[in-house]
Structure 1
Amino acid sequence: MQTYQDLLKSISPYLFGVLISTGLGLIIGLEREFDKLKEKGFAGMRTFPIVAIIGFSIGNLKNQFTPWIVVISLGCFVLFLALYHFSHKLEEYGQGLTTNLALIATFILGVMVSVEFYREAVATAVIIVTLLSLKTRFRSVISNITSEELFAFIKFAIIALLILPFLPNKSFGPNNLLNPFEIGSIIVIVSLINFIGYFLVKFAGSKKGIIITAILGGLISSTAVAWNYAAKSKESPELSKKYSAGIIAASAIMFPRLAFMVYIFNKELLVYIALPFAVLTIVCLAATFILIRKDDNKPNTNINLGNPLDILNAIGFGFIYLIISFAVFYSNQYFGERGLYYSAFIAGLADTDAITISMSKFSLDTNNLLLASSVIIAATLSNMFVKLGITVLNGSKVAGKSVGYAFGSVIVLGLIYILFN
């Protein structure tokens, strides 16, 4: 029996390209055909595959004639669409430009297939179809955006795309702790979490939006999530339990993320760290679930979402992070290497990634896997203590109390593991 691979090999390269071009055209054409059922338009399931095949065929002809045939053909095609668009007969089809642009893109996709950019062409087609199909959703979102939110987006774009890339990526000061680009990156990350969280809460609902943002933010920095959500809980006390659940959920993500780092640098250490990390993750997830279930399920009306882009709050986090980094450096300077646990406690105040990587490499040389696992857990407990302090000092009373119960349980369990090992 002929296998799928053998079947593909038996097809000529030209026929194979025609099939892929046809498929790409059908993907986009199907969406346009469906859109024609709701609004006036032209070009659908027949036109788009034909345009893709034309683009593919002309792309193949460039080898026999000249590469300019592709440029000339594309120009003629654009001119044809322009004349057709502005003709009087078009009144019955509608005046939108989207279908014209989709046709041009489909022609280019056919040319891409001719030079064997198969994966790139398919990925591009999927993105185009996604953008086309989200038209109604985009209109709904834009119609609900305020001028303040629009200006917040512009400010974030200026900070992330115009200011941050031009900050000097050079380290100076004690132990090279001062790096303008790294500090700016921290501020941008905190701002991004705040920005995403604001719109998820607005459009996806307070419960879904907060938790989704917490999970995504926890992959970057659970401490940043704690800082943001603590401040949000004070701005919107009615959402304190949900923001508390978000802080705890972000911290739950920290343990699998660190376990993945351990796996990268020392697979043997993962055996020792897996069980305690799994227990601490379950405790955080259980606390998150309990807080969500206990919170009333009544829809929140007139919720104060606060500032969509709180720059001052983000700068404050960057300042605190810098202070902690200096504290870690000078503590090591004055007290030296009094023990790995002491170093882990100090390192955990600022970041858990560095100490995790360091101990993973340390256990490779010493083969003391049990000690390394305990030190890493000590660092995570220190980091949990920092986030608890942030929540208590920067958040509402309800948030501080809720997070206190969850993180307190995690810290106690972690200490028990360390003491009995």
Structure 2
Amino acid sequence: MSWQQIQPFLVALAIGLLLGLERERSHTAGKLPAGSRSFALLSLLGAVAASVGQWTVVAGLVAVGALAAIAYLRTSEDDSGTTTEIAVLVAYLLGALAYTRPAAAAALAVVVAALLVSKTRIHRFAREIVSDIELADAIKFFVVALVILPLLPDRGLGPYGVLNPAKVWLLVVLLTGIGWIGYIGVRALGPERGLLVTGLAGGFVSATATTASMGRLSRTVASPRAPLAGALVANLATFMQLLIVIGLIDGDVLRRLWPPVVLGAILLVGTAAFVYRRAIRGPREDLTTEERPDIEPTTASRPFALRPALLLAAVLIVALLVGRWGTDVLGPNGAVLAAFAAGLADAHAGAIGAATLASQGGITVNTALTAIAAALGSNLLVKCVLAFTAGGRRFGLGFLAGMALPAVAFTLAMVMTMTMR
């Protein structure tokens, strides 16, 4: 028997042992319906059944399901949970999958084992961290991503044919999804992780709103350095999101854009780290808000709200239309002006609009890069104004100084990138 023939059975055996050992380690009280040997045999049985035929797998699944039901009836008085019984069925099915797709079966087995091991963390997250509002927002997000998105037409519509509803909405889903994950991440980590984590997670929701929130927070502490570091890190999310969404739109723009973005991001991280290190040497009020219950550094009122998502879609559509119209009327400068105007509301809308026009052949890659820089620049102006108005002169000057080096480096690198062929 060759290695290719024996490999699926060995993978199935390893899957069963992995899940069985986890069940034995976690089950410390009462009778265990199935242990490590039983799980290993069941996975191996699934692989053998798959080698015989599809109907053999179905018959084996029925038999394994019956055995799991009997085992549950015998042990339900000691443990009313059904996790082990469900894991038995999963082990059998993964063993069957291992016969034809061993790599996929092994990867899924690791995911299943991680879920089983994370029982306490998952229960704590569901019961203590996620609120009813956040659960409702998660449902809204899944409706937007999994119900509305598939129904939208995936073709060019409207003037100039630049509006693709499915692609526009996909970008909205991506941006709001990153924001939702960031919000939940900071809720899971808690404020004890510090304002850096809060700022970064809040930046994925809205870097502009987080900058203003950190500015307001700076007025309540002895020194504004820690909130300032949080505001700087929040703007790192703008760079990270930009690379993700541009990569989905136009690879040529991404290849020219990523060096300036990475350089600006590195300098921004270094500046934020320098500011925060000075903060931790100062008064304790700068570190976290644990000792200051009156301070609540909220990054956004809700993790997902439909109105901002619709607003983002509207801004993106306007940026696409105005950019294409400006290109026809004013030439490349029209697209740059449109991106600059869109950046006043949202940096990504102007950048996405320019990259989309480049992918459709409406403008050159260099023009798209100029427009992206214009969108980021106008959005930075808005953030600076908010930093001064929300945090006062001291916080505003600190934010302006902190963003100066990354902005200048990004601009110079962008100019060099555009001059290179």
Question: Under a length normalisation based on structure 2, what TM-score does the superposition of the two structures give?
Answer: 0.73
Structure 1, unaligned runs of 5 or more: 1-8, 218-223, 366-371
Indicate the residue corresponding to 1:43 in structure 2.
34
Contact 2:24 2:35 (8 Å CA) reproduced: yes
Counterpart mapping for 1:242-257 below 5 A: 243-253=230-240
Alignment partner of 2:62 out of 55, 58, 75? 75
Counterpart mapping for 1:345-356 below 5 A: 346-347=338-339, 349=343, 350-352=349-351
- In the aligned structure 1, how far is the partner of 2:89 from the partner of 2:150? 33
Distance 1:234 1:157, change over 3 A: farther
How many angstroms does 1:379 deviate by? 4.1
Distance 1:304 1:39, change over 3 A: farther
How many angstroms does 1:377 deviate by? 6.2
Distance 1:57 1:332, change over 3 A: closer
How many angstroms does 1:109 deviate by? 1.9
Alignment partner of 2:138 out of 132, 153, 157? 153
Matched, 1:298 2:288: yes
Indicate the residue corresponding to 1:368 in structure 2.
none
Q: Tell me which amino acid in the other structure corresponds to 1:124.
A: L
Instruction: Let me know the Cα RMSD of the aligned residues.
Output: 4.2
Indicate the residue corresponding to 2:405 in structure 1.
409
68-77 or 299-308, which moves further after superposition?
299-308
Indicate the residue corresponding to 2:108 in structure 1.
124
- Larger Rg belongs to: 1
How many angstroms does 1:102 deviate by? 0.7
- In the aligned structure 1, how far is the partner of 2:276 from the partner of 2:261? 23
Q: Percent identity?
A: 20
Counterpart mapping for 1:107-256 below 5 A: 107-114=92-99, 116-144=100-128, 145-206=130-191, 207=195, 209-210=197-198, 213=201, 217=204, 225-227=206-208, 229-230=210-211, 233=214, 241=228, 243-253=230-240
117-126 or 171-180, which moves further after superposition?
171-180
Structure 2, unaligned runs of 5 or more: 221-225, 281-285, 344-348
How many angstroms does 1:161 deviate by? 2.0
Q: Tell me which amino acid in the other structure corresponds to 1:35.
A: S
Indicate the residue corresponding to 2:80 in structure 1.
95
Superposed CA offset, 1:378-406 (max 9, x none) = 44532321221342466763376554334
- In the aligned structure 2, how far is the partner of 1:415 from the partner of 1:109? 52
Question: Under a length normalisation based on structure 1, what TM-score does the superposition of the two structures give?
Answer: 0.73
